[in-house]
Every structure is written in C-alpha cells, then in structure tokens.
C-alpha cells in the first residue's frame, strides 16, 4: 500500500507548515492562547484563506477534500505548530451539518468554511466520563420550538463560539441511547451564560449553562431522539483529528530531543553518544512510528461503512497516541533534564499538549475498554 500523500495534499501541507511557522511563533502562540478569545482571529482567517478549513469537507459541501487523509494532514500540521485555533469545532459541527442537516441548516457551512463562523460542540457534562450517551440536559418541545435546560462542561472556545451544537435529552434518562437530540444554538442566545477558563496547554474552554433557552423548531438537527448516531459519527472525525494532531506534536518533540542529544555535552562529548540514552531514544522512535501506523489506519477507516471496523480503528488510534504521547512527553523532558520543564523552551508546551490530547474525546483507558468491547461485538457477529 502507498502511504504517500497526493501531490495536492503535499502542497497543502507545505503551505500550512510555512504559514504557521511564519505567523505562529511560540511567542505569538502564547499571546493568542492567553488572550481574550483564546486563539488568533487573524491566524484563523489566514487558515481559512489557505483552504485548511475547506480541506475538511467534500466539494458538495463547499470544501475541496473531506477524506480521512485530508483531515489527518491538516491536523498533523496544526499539531506540529501548536495551533490553538478552533479547527476541531469547525470539523465536528460541519460534519454534523453534512450528516443530518436540512438544506437551510447546511447553508451555515459557508460561514464555517470561510472562517467567519466559529463553531463548537457542547456535549460533555459533569460526570459523563466520556460516555456519549450520558446526556442529562433536557429539551422540552413547545408550540414554537424547544426550550433547553442544563449545563455543558469543558466546551472548547465555548465562550467565543458563534454557533453551538448542543446535545439534549428529549426523552429517557442518562445513559439511554435513545432520546438524545441535537440542536443548533446561537452563541448569543438569551438564557445562555458562559464561564470561560484557560486551559493548561493554552487556549480556552467554557462551562455553559442554558436556563430556559428557547430555540425554533428549525434548530433541531436530524431526527428527534436519534442524535447518538450522529454524535458517534462526528466524534470519529474528532478522534482522527486529535490522533493526527498528537502525531504532529510527537514528531516535533522527537526532533527537538534528538537535536538536544546531539548538541548538549557532558565530559566533553555529546550526551547522545551515551548508550543508555541511545537505547531510550531508539525505543521512542519505534513508538512514534507505531503511532503513525495507527493514525494512517484510522484515516483509511474513518469513512468505512462497517461501523465496528471503523470505530475499532478510531479507538485504537486514540488509545495509541494517548499511551505513546504520554511516553514521548515524559522521555523528551527527562532527556532534556531540568531545562525541559521551563516555560521558555517550546518543548514543555508540546509535552503539555500531548498529555491534554489524551483527555479529549476519551482518554487512553476509555478507548482501550471501548476497543475491547467493539472487538467482542465483532466476534459475536
């Protein structure tokens, strides 16, 4: 099998890496991540102009890509440059609109692709433990639409999002699979309150409280009570995106550590000449390549119509980058010594991002258990 990207994808990767390296230095990244919005609006506009957002969606939806390898390439570039822009929200909300939206709802894709609309998924709730079906927020039907009540936690850039995709229960109780519905809620809706927080790895999240938020009937995305399937589908794209981003982060951390081993001297020789460090670095390089294989497998499987095969590949990739990403973070810092922990060295921020990716859309333990359950289900078919 040929694992090389097409010429068009390689050109896009070159353009993205060059643009981000020139406009997203570690100092600028800190300013954006710690700023009011938690990201750079100008950098996000530039990414849209380069086609980075459009590459996440197929041509019929206003993009020019949309395959698993397109998504993987874009997010690997973002990881290499520690970008904090709201690309993940654009991906998952955009894919939800494609999967279940009406023609009128899909029209909002234009704003997402152009970068003019910042979108975010508001699904996680306190105590949900990564389970997609754990939804306690309620949506009650009225004569004119729906009224939403409840709380969503750790919504990436939720305090600055223009469009929120909110999961709510229209029947049943958590963790029932049936009864979950999805709603498109404006970021300025009456009754919506936001409490923003800084993330340890840069950027912002928010806790959202919806107190009798009224939306029209046209806010319902897809079929009432059948939103779990859409959530699983868009979460699959998120798993691929995060695994690819983690791979990009790992590559940079690995390269920076190799360079340090070549230049840092003790007893008059580079520390990379010490056999113990050579063995540790060799093990690390093998682990990173294993993560790369898992990401390639996930990119090939994300559009698979066989649900069990698709979800197994995605959970395997997320488990792999969770385990290996933590190892890369720890070993890179260890081999740098005390300097590896300093704010001034970019490596420390790459290490933090690797650890935090593990906690988005399910951590290592969650996806190992999920992979086992899916494998058992496959054996029973």
The whole-number pLDDT of residue 4 equals: 78
Q: How far apart are CA 180 and CA 174, in angstroms?
A: 9
Residue 299, token pair as written in the block: 């990119």
Q: Is 164 helix (H, G, I), strand (E, B) or coil?
A: strand
Q: Please give the full DSSP string across 237-286, using - where no structure is assigned.
A: HHHHHHHHHHHHHHHHHHHHHHHHHHH-EETTEEGGGSHHHHHHHHHHHH
The whole-number pLDDT of residue 24 equals: 96
- With contact defined as beta carbons under 8 Å apart, do 246 and 79 qualify? yes
Tell me the per-residue pLDDT of 184-203, one tens digit each, with 9 for 90 and over: 999 999 999 999 999 999 99
Q: How far apart are CA 17 and CA 80, in angstroms?
A: 8
Q: How far apart are CA 175 and CA 11, in angstroms?
A: 45
Q: How far apart are CA 79 and CA 256, in angstroms?
A: 14
Cα dist. 97→94, 105, 337 in Å?
A: 5, 7, 47
Cα dist. 264→258, 260, 280, 335, 345 in Å?
A: 10, 6, 16, 10, 15
Domains of the chain (ranges; CATH) run 7-114 (1.10.540.10), 119-225 (2.40.110.10), 228-380 (1.20.140.10)
Strand pairing category for 119-122 and 163-169: parallel
Per-residue confidence in pLDDT tens, the chain, 381 aa = 566 788 889 999 999 999 999 999 999 999 999 988 999 999 999 999 999 999 999 999 999 999 999 999 999 999 999 999 999 999 999 999 999 999 999 999 999 999 999 999 999 999 899 999 999 999 999 999 999 999 999 999 999 999 999 999 999 998 999 999 999 999 999 999 999 999 999 999 999 999 999 999 999 999 999 999 999 999 999 999 999 999 999 999 999 999 999 999 999 999 999 999 999 999 999 999 999 999 999 999 999 999 999 999 999 999 999 999 999 999 999 999 989 989 999 999 999 999 999 999 999 999 999 999 999 998 887
151 burial level (CB within 10 Å; 0-12, 13-18, 19+): middle
- With contact defined as beta carbons under 8 Å apart, do 55 and 221 qualify? no
The whole-number pLDDT of residue 1 equals: 55
Residue at token pair 């690995």 = 254
Tell me the per-residue pLDDT of 76-117, one tens digit each, with 9 for 90 and over: 999 999 999 999 999 999 999 999 999 999 999 999 999 999
């Amino acid at each position: 099998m040929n694992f090389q990207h097409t010429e068009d994808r390689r050109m896009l990767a070159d353009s993205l890496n060059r643009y981000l390296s020139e406009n997203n230095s570690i100092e600028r990244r800190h300013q954006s991540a710690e700023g009011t919005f938690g990201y750079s609006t100008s950098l996000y506009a530039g990414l849209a102009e380069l086609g980075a957002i459009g590459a996440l969606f197929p041509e019929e939806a206003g993009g020019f890509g949309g395959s698993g390898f397109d998504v993987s390439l874009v997010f690997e570039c973002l990881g290499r440059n520690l970008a904090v822009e709201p690309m993940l929200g654009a991906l998952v909300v955009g894919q939800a609109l494609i999967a279940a939206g009406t023609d009128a709802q899909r029209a909002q894709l234009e704003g997402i692709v152009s970068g003019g609309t910042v979108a975010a998924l508001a699904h996680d709730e306190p105590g949900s433990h990564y389970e997609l079906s754990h939804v306690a927020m309620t949506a009650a039907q009225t004569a004119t639409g729906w009224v939403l009540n409840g709380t969503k936690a750790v919504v990436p850039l939720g305090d600055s999002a223009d469009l929120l995709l909110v999961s709510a229960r229209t029947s049943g109780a958590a963790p029932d699979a049936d009864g979950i519905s999805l709603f498109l809620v404006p970021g300025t809706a009456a009754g919506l309150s936001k409490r923003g927080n800084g993330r340890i790895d840069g950027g912002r999240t928010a806790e959202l409280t919806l107190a009798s938020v009224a939306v029209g009937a046209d806010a319902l995305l897809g079929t009432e009570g059948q939103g779990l399937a859409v959530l699983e589908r868009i979460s699959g794209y998120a798993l691929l995106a995060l695994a690819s981003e983690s791979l990009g982060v790992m590559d940079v951390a690995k390269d920076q550590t190799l360079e340090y081993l070549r230049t840092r001297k003790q007893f008059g020789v580079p520390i990379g000449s010490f056999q113990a460090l050579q063995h540790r670095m060799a093990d690390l390089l093998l682990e990173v390549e294993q993560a790369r294989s898992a990401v390639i497998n996930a990119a090939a499987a994300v559009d698979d119509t066989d649900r069990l095969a698709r979800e197994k590949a995605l959970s395997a990739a997320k488990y792999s980058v969770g385990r290996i990403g933590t190892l890369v973070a720890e070993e890179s810092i260890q081999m740098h010594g005390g300097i590896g922990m300093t704010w001034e060295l970019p490596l420390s921020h790459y290490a933090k991002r690797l650890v935090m990716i593990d906690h988005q859309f399910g951590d290592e333990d969650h996806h190992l258990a999920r992979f086992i359950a899916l494998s058992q289900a496959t054996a029973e078919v």
